């Protein structure tokens, strides 16, 4: 069986963002699929081209049995929304031009957002007479409207129409959270049985640290002088929906508290603004670090005493289950969540942290102080609880087996039709 995988930000294990899709493709190959990927020629976290070029022609590569087409992408897309939208359009149109090179596929698997990739998947599936499978990691345009990014009534109407058409045309929809699953099922109630839940998860092997990794951790602790500090760590994108202003305000409240250090590791369109806030507040208790390769992130995460996970207020943020949350759990350190919903449910079930209200930096500051003065063995126990829980319930190998089973059902349906 052949699968065409469409994802604008397909990252390998040594890149800067989540390698979930790469892991999935490797397992698909092991299961007997032939996999072709179309993706953008851009590192999402750094906004730089993966393979520097001025040519508009796609770049062909093969990696561990996966054939990959890298589509031209303009750099520095995070500087403006216009650049981002332009990048979406570039990916859509230049990917369509590959229709002559890609002769066949049994399944076209498209990851949204953006919706342009879902629409591309629908187009390619019709052309190739393949099953259209759509993975939804964020409910666009609903979240854009909730956050105030999308206000134009005509655009709202058009994007909702595109999303609904893709939902109706898809033979199978993969939702990354229960909230997203219910959101889609409510829109296509007559086809709700086609919407399956397959969440993010972790690869336990990645978080099994050998002696060499432990030496690297000790070196990082010395380099950044964290050995005698209580480190509050954030890892991931620095964008609006990550609500990192909550951490900055928390650091301001605790700037006279000795021994507390905030580390924010990652990149994003709001990083400059966050650094400017910290500068204006004259915060000496916060350290901004650039993104690190995915396969090195478990080492850097060991700098933490606790992890911070702030959300924005709002109904749609209750359905968040980001990759970094599972990485936090796998790293075996307690979590302070400023938010509610599915993430909070997992923290409560696993007894792996504390939960405060979204955007409540005073409550976050109080929670940090409680953890700081908590007996170390209690913190260690909470971290171990989370690590054990995520390995048991959110192992990538188990989740990928579920996904492959769903895809095999879609393929069998296609054979019956043919």
More confident residue, 19 or 344: 344
Residue 78: band (very low, low, confident or very high) from pLDDT cuts 50, 70, 90? low
Contact 248, 271 (CB under 8 A): no
H or E segment and range at residue 11 = none
Please, which pLDDT band fits residue 12 given cuts at 50, 70 and 90? confident
Q: Distance (Å, rounded) from C-alpha 406 to C-alpha 318?
A: 26
What end-to-end distance do the CA atoms of the chain give, in Å?
15
Residues 232 and 385: their CA atoms lie apart, in Å, by: 19
Tens-digit pLDDT profile for residues 180-219 = 999 999 999 999 999 999 999 999 988 989 899 999 999 9
The rounded percent of the chain whose pLDDT value lies above 90 is 67
How confident is the prediction for the chain on average, in pLDDT?
Answer: 90
Given a cut of 70, whether residue 80 has pLDDT beyond it is no
Return all residues near 145 (Cβ < 8 A) that are at least 6 apart: 151, 156
Report whether 247 contacts 365 (CB < 8 A): no
Distances (CA, A) of 368 to 59, 158, 311: 47, 44, 16
Instruction: Give the mean model confidence (pLDDT) for residues 46-54.
Output: 79
The angle formed by the CA atoms of residues 152, 177 and 140, to the nearest 5 degrees, is 15
Which of the four pLDDT bands, split at 50, 70 and 90, describes residue 77?
Answer: low
The domains of the chain, with CATH numbers, are 2-201+395-417 (3.40.50.2000), 204-393 (3.40.50.2000)
Mean pLDDT of 16-41: 90
Dihedral angle sign, alpha carbons of residues 24, 308, 204, 229: positive
Average pLDDT for 45-68: 85
Dihedral class, residue 64 (left if φ above 0, else alpha if ψ from -120 to 50, else beta):
left
pLDDT in tens, 122-153: 999 999 999 999 999 988 888 888 877 788 88
Residue 15: per-residue pLDDT: 76
Asked whether residue 3 carries a pLDDT value surpassing 70, the answer given is: yes
Measured over the CA atoms of residue 245, residue 312, residue 289 and residue 220, the dihedral's sign is positive
- The tokens for 381 are 């126990």
Question: Is the per-residue pLDDT at 331 higher than 90?
Answer: yes
Instruction: Give the model confidence (pLDDT) of 245-276 as tens digits.
Output: 999 999 999 999 999 999 999 988 889 999 99
Tokens at 192, concatenated? 């709700």
Confidence of residue 55 (pLDDT cuts 50, 70, 90): confident
Position 303 confidence tier, pLDDT thresholds 50, 70, 90: very high
Q: Over 60: is that where the pLDDT of 13 sits? A: yes
Cα four-point dihedral sign 356, 357, 358, 361: negative
User: Could you give phi then psi for residue 122, rounded to 5 degrees?
Assistant: -65, -45
- Cα separation, 255 vs 247, in Å, equals 12
Residue 380 pLDDT > 50: yes
Confidence at 85, pLDDT banded by 50, 70, 90:
confident
Q: Predicted confidence band at 382 (pLDDT cuts at 50, 70, 90)? A: very high
Model confidence at 417: pLDDT above 50: no
Residue range 216-223: average pLDDT?
A: 94
pLDDT level of residue 324 (50, 70, 90 thresholds): very high
Task: Check residue 416 and give its pLDDT.
Answer: 46
pLDDT score, position 353: 96
* Residue 418 confidence (pLDDT) above 50: no
How far apart are the C-alpha atoms of 98 and 103, rounded to whole Å?
Answer: 10
Q: Can you tell me the distance from the alpha carbon of 173 to that of 369, in angstroms, rounded to the nearest whole number?
A: 43
Residue 36 has pLDDT above 70, yes or no: yes
Percent of the chain with pLDDT over 70: 96
Q: Which of 42, 33, 37 is nearest to 69 (CA)?
A: 37
Q: Please answer whether residues 237 and 264 qualify as being in contact, where contact means their C-beta atoms are separated by less than 8 angstroms.
A: no
DSSP 246-305: HHHHHHHHTTTSTTEEEEEE---TTHHHHHHHHHHTT-SSEEEE----GGGHHHHHTT-S
Q: Is the pLDDT of residue 414 over 60?
A: no
- The pLDDT value given to residue 136: 95
Q: Which two tokens stand for residue 75?
A: 């750099």
Alpha-carbon dihedral sign for residues 120, 123, 128, 134: positive
- If one counts every other C-beta atom within 10 angstroms of the C-beta of residue 313, the result is 15
Contact status, residue 396 vs residue 13, Cβ threshold 8 Å = no
d(CA 213, CA 358): 35
pLDDT at 72 (0 to 100): 86
pLDDT, average across residues 106-122: 94
């Amino acid at each position: 069986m052949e699968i065409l995988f469409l994802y604008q930000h397909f990252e390998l294990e040594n890149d800067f963002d989540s390698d979930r899709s790469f892991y999935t493709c490797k397992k698909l190959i092991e299961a007997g699929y032939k996999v072709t990927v179309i993706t953008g020629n851009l590192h999402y976290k750094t906004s730089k081209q993966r393979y520097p070029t001025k040519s508009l022609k796609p770049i062909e590569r093969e990696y561990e049995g996966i054939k990959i087409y890298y589509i031209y992408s303009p750099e520095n897309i995070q500087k403006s929304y216009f650049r981002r939208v332009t990048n979406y359009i570039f990916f859509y149109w230049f990917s369509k031009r590959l229709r002559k090179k890609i002769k066949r596929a049994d399944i076209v698997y498209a990851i949204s957002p953006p919706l342009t990739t879902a629409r591309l998947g629908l187009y390619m599936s019709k052309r190739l007479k393949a099953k259209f499978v759509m993975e939804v990691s964020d409910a666009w345009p609903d979240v854009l409207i909730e956050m105030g990014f999308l206000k134009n009534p005509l655009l709202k109407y058009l994007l909702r129409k595109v999303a609904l058409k893709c939902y109706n045309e898809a033979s199978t929809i993969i939702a990354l959270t229960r909230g997203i699953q219910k959101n889609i099922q409510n829109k296509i109630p007559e086809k709700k049985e086609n919407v399956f839940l397959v969440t993010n998860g972790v690869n336990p092997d990645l978080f099994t640290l050998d002696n060499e990794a432990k030496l690297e951790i000790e070196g990082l602790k010395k380099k950044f002088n964290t050995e005698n500090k209580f480190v509050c760590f954030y890892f991931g994108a620095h964008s609006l929906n990550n609500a990192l202003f909550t951490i900055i305000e928390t650091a301001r409240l605790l700037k006279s508290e000795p021994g507390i250090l905030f580390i924010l590791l990652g990149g994003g369109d709001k990083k400059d603004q966050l650094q400017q806030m910290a500068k204006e507040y004259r915060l000496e208790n916060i350290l901004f670090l650039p993104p690190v390769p995915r396969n090195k992130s478990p080492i850097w995460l060991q700098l933490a005493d606790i992890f911070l996970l702030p959300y924005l207020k709002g109904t749609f943020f209750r359905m968040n289950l980001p990759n970094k949350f599972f990485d936090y759990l796998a790293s075996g350190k307690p979590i302070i969540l400023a938010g509610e919903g599915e993430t909070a449910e997992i923290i409560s079930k696993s007894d792996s942290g504390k939960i405060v209200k979204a955007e409540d930096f005073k409550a976050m500051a109080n929670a940090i102080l409680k953890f700081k003065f908590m007996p170390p063995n209690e913190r260690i126990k909470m971290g171990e609880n989370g690590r054990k829980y995520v390995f048991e319930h959110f192992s990538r190998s188990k989740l990928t087996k579920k996904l492959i089973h769903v895809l095999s059902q879609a393929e069998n349906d296609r054979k019956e039709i043919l």
